[in-house]
Structure 1
């Protein structure tokens, strides 16, 4: 394993973590600035765009980076030029076609999302598809040269510009008294500007670089056909893992409004309710980001290890990935669950939907395992099995949304989310075990679960002796901040006391690991 590979994996992991946190946290001020209706419209429309974007983009950077890397080994400059040009044509074509399809179908899609109030937002955000797929080609090109910096910087730049512009536009439009539909459409412009800034940055780096592909050979249609097949063959399976969460969110956007309409809700009332549901998913994204970022460098290693026939090493990687996900996902889910009341009031200004948000918060545990295990299945070359499992989960999500929402209202979608992520996690782990038997549940997992439960009881206990309904927002936010620190301290002490981690694992932890290393050296 090369030092360059590890450095690249760490750079991408950190950039992904930062950009995802930005992409999750901004939802809180957006709801505060624009209200539940605008937040609900955003939460309804954005998963539709993300699903289409992933289908258009997801696998292209990794596919062309792999092909360019192979061409570099052979020293074939013409192949590198052909791969880059073909990928550029594919990216631009997919983006244009996707935009046209969504634009033409914007009104029917809006009706599926609950009403015409979403039409303008759909049209505006779909314009991002004219930029994003082409931008992804440049990321893949630099990755093919083992240079992860342009991808990392462009990811953070895109998200920073997007989030900043969304909040600025929301503030300006709300201050000027525009309707919810106009405000929701306006904030979607942030996505276009973010992708455009990222593309400009990548293009600028590309033009200044010394690795621009050059060839005197003419580029022909047959060349396009040959490389297009190879790029698509590599990129399409990659979409499966990326689509897991996006697909389930997309299903919510389509089915929840329809079922809320069926039980009597109309137009903006639907957006308002979906905004309440979106409060829970906003923070769940952060919990998932931490778990996925921690294991991201391990996934490509699993593929390489299996290719060399190193089964024991692969088993060790899987068990380590599961262990660290248990370690971070249990406290994240239990902490969010325990602090639902002060989080809801402190961040969003009221106590609406507490039971719904609490269930969604707890589902963070299984959402993390769904993302992790789907990635591991891909690393184990079981993309088809992962695709079938995601399909089964999607079908069940549709059925449960219909049945549970009609019988129990909005809380039904929260229960369906929890049930589906539990099922997908179990099925993924079952297929992983069939491929390579491993220790599914270890003593350390019990330590993490029990420690998280005790931690949750500690941080929620004060609310039994106080009345949160009489708190100010400032007090609620202060309570959350203090209890997060208390919870982290309690959890850390418990897993150390119960020996949930070994010495080597303690030393390998980010940030705090150096303190354990220095302690060992002193001894």
Structure 2
């Protein structure tokens, strides 16, 4: 029976991981055509209010369902599971009504705080999505707690598909009919509510009237606040940093002497970083957290040596993939910027922002390790301190150094969060994870990869000058330089044994790469 439960857990984790990957990929990719249709100012309008939706989406999509599924799985029988779900449902409805009322009544105050009173209708549009949060989060969590992952996976993908379609249709219609960017933004943000309805349609219900009432679970409200709140906040870490930017970047630019329209446009350029960072995080975190079920099993079976080994493997894989992704994006940013957004404006500040991929990946991966040990307080402290740094200093940094100041503050805030988590963790979760040879090899692989990519780019620019001005040519150059960088990094990592064989085998599909490398090495040695 134990093995059967473990197998169901592993299969369920895989299904949810694939669904989450697809949902996050859709959430990142749509922003590129959207920005191309509505321009920098239209993108600014949408991105100013998006963090409020992003927080709600995080609550309903991943944060609360994970916490609820844990409580459901702990319940001994079906009546108790139903009772737990009903208790949480009441608490989440209370939370949803408070947020809905706060956004509806406080929309003007929030819009003024963002430096743009015309954003108030967009904020009120986002508020409606929170009324669907109780049913979405409890239904997903209930089915996950019963090891039924397909309903949640299906609803996640449907929700994101519908939202993306609504957003892009609204942008296309607004462009064709010459709507104001604020009217366009309001309709685009309605996609969140419409998508929530679609997700509910494909989710099976969780209430069963024939079930007798189970016992109330003590301290549900407190656990919802502490454990559920921690899961939600950490999952929404990057969105919370974006929310601080919504209140400080445009205002800081205006305070520095920039005109209102120019500040809106530059904030739209700054927001180009979001889809790029999200793509980097999706890939890095997906690979690293593929080991989470095995980590949870090692913790459950009280095998500290296996737990430490898996933690080290997760952190190594996370750092390697995130560093390679960030370094590649930084070195190719001018061409990526031109291909995706039509010009190279803001490539420097976008490059700085890409460093957050490394730090956010490490924080999320390490937080997963702490969660498997039911350690929540440390991550809340880390997130609070990091957000305070961002909130207190960001306006000054933007006023003093322009939008680049906000990029550096995001990186600094994430550094603070990681240091708090790292130094506050038990010694057994820190000792031996990072070794000097590993760091030296990683730096060597990264530096040589960047040098190889830049050299290839110089050769292409010499033979094909159009890549410096043409959007299509920039795309062609990326088709050459990205494989060159990827293969160079992979070859160096394998030849220098950056990861151990055990660590390589923990990466999905790495076995085939190792076999190929072994054949190449044997052939080269002859």
TM above 0.5, one fold? yes
Match of 1:448 in 2: 442
1:224 deviates by 9.1
Q: C-alpha distance in 2, partners of 1:252/1:340?
A: 21
* Counterpart contact for 2:13–2:293, Cα < 8 Å: no
Match of 1:350 in 2: 343
Q: C-alpha distance in 2, partners of 1:216/1:404?
A: 58
Distance verdict in 2 for CA 1:272–1:490, change over 3 Å? same
Compare 359-368 and 337-346 and name the one that shifted more.
359-368
Match of 1:378 in 2: 371
Q: C-alpha distance in 1, partners of 2:366/2:24?
A: 19
* Counterpart contact for 2:60–2:136, Cα < 8 Å: no
Q: C-alpha distance in 2, partners of 1:464/1:83?
A: 62
TM superposition score normalised by structure 2: 0.89
* Counterpart contact for 2:456–2:481, Cα < 8 Å: no
* Counterpart contact for 2:316–2:499, Cα < 8 Å: no
1:286 deviates by 0.9
* Counterpart contact for 2:103–2:123, Cα < 8 Å: yes
CA RMSD of aligned residues (A): 2.7
Distance verdict in 2 for CA 1:235–1:475, change over 3 Å? same
* Counterpart contact for 1:81–1:214, Cα < 8 Å: no
Q: C-alpha distance in 1, partners of 2:234/2:427?
A: 19
Match of 1:34 in 2: 38
1:367 deviates by 2.2
Match of 2:85 in 1: 84
Match of 2:309 in 1: 316
How many pairs are equivalent? 511
1:140 deviates by 0.6
Matched, 1:397 2:395: no
Provide, for residues 456-510 of structure 1, a one-character-per-residue CA deviation record: whole Å limited to 9, x for no partner: 2222224445257742111111212322122111111111111223334434432
Provide, for residues 159-217 of structure 1, a one-character-per-residue CA deviation record: whole Å limited to 9, x for no partner: 11111221111011111000111111111122222221111100xx348xxxx634464
Q: C-alpha distance in 1, partners of 2:17/2:443?
A: 26
Provide, for residues 212-242 of structure 1, a one-character-per-residue CA deviation record: whole Å limited to 9, x for no partner: 63446469xx959875555555423323422
Match of 1:17 in 2: 21
* Counterpart contact for 2:56–2:129, Cα < 8 Å: no
Q: C-alpha distance in 1, partners of 2:216/2:431?
A: 45
SS of the residue corresponding to residue 24 of structure 1 reads: helix
* Counterpart contact for 2:457–2:481, Cα < 8 Å: no
Q: C-alpha distance in 2, partners of 1:70/1:408?
A: 51
SS of the residue corresponding to residue 188 of structure 1 reads: helix
* Counterpart contact for 2:52–2:126, Cα < 8 Å: no
TM superposition score normalised by structure 1: 0.90
Match of 1:424 in 2: 417
* Counterpart contact for 1:244–1:390, Cα < 8 Å: yes
* Counterpart contact for 2:32–2:340, Cα < 8 Å: yes
Match of 1:337 in 2: 330
1:82 deviates by 1.6
What pairs up with 1:53-452 in 2 under 5 angstroms? Answer: 54=58, 59-71=63-75, 74=76, 76-202=77-203, 205-206=204-205, 213-215=208-210, 217=212, 228=221, 231-232=224-225, 234-299=227-292, 302=295, 305-306=298-299, 308-432=301-425, 434-442=427-435, 443-452=437-446
